[in-house]
Structures are given as structure tokens and as C-alpha cells.
Amino acid sequence: MFIAAVILSVLLAIGFALASLPKMSAADSMVAELGRLGVSNGLGRLIGALEFLGAAGLVIGLWIGPLGIAAATGLVLLMAGAVIYHLKAHDSAKKTMPSLVLLLLSAAALALRSASL
């Protein structure tokens, strides 16, 4: 199970690290999308920073188990918030699905990490 946890954690870390950059740099397209959802520029940057820290925590957590669990928990909470924002905005399934998939994958990483301690 540890191998599955490693693979999923690394893939999620890459995805979240890449997704965090436009938020932290306040890229115009990201600011517009987050604004549409009702997320301020400052909150968007905070979300990006938390995603980046979560990605780092997933990787470092491969050696320090409790940190990996904390990082996965944080990412689950972030993605739950993202899904809620999409639902409040009455977004289509197509727009909501990426956040929902990342929520489920983060929950799977949390379960795998917890089981492999």
C-alpha cells in the first residue's frame, strides 16, 4: 500500500504545485475565474500558497508520515471548499468535476498514507 501512497502523493504534489502558481502570481485568467466564484484576490493567493505547501507536505510526508497525513487532510479541506464554491456559483458538472476529482484523490491519498504508517 505504501507504493500506491507514494505514486498518488507524488502525482498530486505535482498537480497541486502547478495549480498553485497561477493563484500565487495572480495570473489574470485565474483572478477572473476566482472572482467569478466570489473569491477575492487575497484569498486566491492564500489558496495558492496552501496548495503549494500541501504539495510540499505530501512529498516530505513520504519520510515524515504525520506531515503527509496533515498535508493530505489540508488538501481535502481545500478541495471541499472549492467544490462548495462551485456549487454556490451553480457551475456545471464540467466546471465542478476537477475540484471533485482532486477532493477524492486527496482523500484516497489520506487513506493510503494513514494505512501505511
- What pLDDT, in 10s, does the model give residues 37-78? 999 999 999 999 999 999 999 999 999 999 999 999 999 999
Band of the pLDDT at 1, cuts 50, 70, 90?
A: confident
Structural domain contains residue 7: yes
Structural domain contains residue 117: no
Structural domain contains residue 55: yes
Task: Give the burial string for 38-66 (b: 16+ CB within 10 Å, else e).
Answer: ebeeeebbebbebbbbbbbbbbebbeeee
Band of the pLDDT at 83, cuts 50, 70, 90?
A: very high
Structural domain contains residue 77: yes
d(CA 57, CA 112): 15
Give pTM, 2 decimals: 0.94
Residue 116 has what pLDDT? Answer: 86
- Mean per-residue pLDDT for 12-17? 98
Average pLDDT along the chain:
96
- Residue 11 belongs to domain spanning: 2-112
Structural domain contains residue 90: yes
Structural domain contains residue 101: yes
> What total of structural domains would you count in the chain?
1
Structural domain contains residue 81: yes
